[in-house]
Structure 1
């Protein structure tokens, strides 16, 4: 028996761990919350994304609901003890949701109890302290037996070529399943951790690049918003200044109109036939008209004249200079003749 195991192990030593893409959907149901069988402290998530091909959405049309894999866990612990990765005893779909919420990957182990490589792998690799600590720190682990329930369904879908069989999976877009890394055949604890660590580092680099692009886009969006806000503020200020000018202009026009409505237009005709026109306030006195005529400096006119209106004829002399133009009837307009004394 030992020789057969050695031959089988030698045959698999050359196996290359490969990336596998699922050709079909994985059907499973979700109808209850996670029912954890044990309570073990969890380490902070590495917060890395997955960056592989997405597969079609999970098909929920199959109503043959699977029961949590507590049978696998009980039989595993009975044979290999209590020191092992923390396998969640719940439906596979619930583990995918849990890992998504914690920003982790799912470490999937399909257990083939009758395969000759299984005991050595479980005892020396899967239950080794370094693997247990690494998986519990960085992954959400789940396992099941390959010949029943969800384990059989996953084995049928993933089609392992040899056991032991492990995979790193995550929920993708549109509720699809993404296989990030698939590992088959026997391996040492160091080999398993190295494969998983390399995968995490690659995903971390992809995450850094994605974050850098997101940060660049975020800053570009901030600059764009700031430029838009500045342009809007400038446009708003220009509109406000324009509106203020229009209001001032309108008020000025109203003031001018009001002032014009109170102006008195006086036409003065001189003895030589010359005609002068002057606008006064309706509250100005007649003496303002006399001062205007005197300021013209016409020969023979200064101080030796009276103002005469027609229709009806009325003479305004020095004794009438304190009368306002409105009271004299010169508002809004009047024509006055100069009559020399």
Structure 2
């Protein structure tokens, strides 16, 4: 009996405590109770509805680089080529470092053919493995950010849209291939394989050319700095020699017995002083003229690659014409060379007879360039 009474007392105490807590809650301001209710209801809704992380509803909290992947994977899953979540220029630099091209996919979610292309071609095992092995892939939504900029730049007229880009030299993006509309995985791989075969060798060669240009620029700057320092040292030695000669002459004059000073002696001393200063002034004027001449007519280094694989480098003035390069090659008397033309290989540009009178500066070959001699049959 005592035990039953103890249980009743305990239950009564708990009931009283709960009633007190409810009464305290009811005394809270109505707006606070409303916020608590909204929080509890919102949490329940979020847990029961998996779409609460929809990027369309949380657009501000998704970084731009990750937006495409969120949109794409939400609908098509995670089985797809590896798309780098970075800015396009960063991806181009990564690809250049790895001697690869960039595969670009511009995603138009609302286009009627997009779903078919993504599920059957882009997410296929054949396409995904080929792209991961041979390209650096990048994707973007065509209606926003960099995707919209690229859509306008490439003047995209239909979707689905893919392209192959490269960054050979001087941060100039080159479009090597474009694919518009739906294609099968086999057709896409065939197009990309052909692009690799046709453009891969030229691209790698352009990288070598760029490295050679950087090396030539560095050597030219080192040579110019060396010449400048040598000229400064020469002027310094000349000044020291003149200063030592002047001090020696002064010391000898002090040792000689003094003669009566004539009235015109100050004028003579002044003239002698002017004569002594002339070599220094002349040296500065000559150095200034040489510097001005170098600025007016800077040198251009041209690296010429011959059909047999040999290379020669020659200096020209930026005001020299394309004809000067042809004359230089003709003066070498290379055996077996008939008609030829000079080529800048990537992107391909021909410097033939129509460009003979263009200066090297006008032709875009200054301060240095690498040209190929292409034989004309």
Larger radius of gyration: 1
Question: TM-score, normalised on structure 2?
Answer: 0.38
**Structure 1 or 2: more helix by fraction:** 2
State the structure with bigger RCO (CA 8 A, min sep 6), 1 or 2: 1
Question: TM-score, normalised on structure 1?
Answer: 0.42
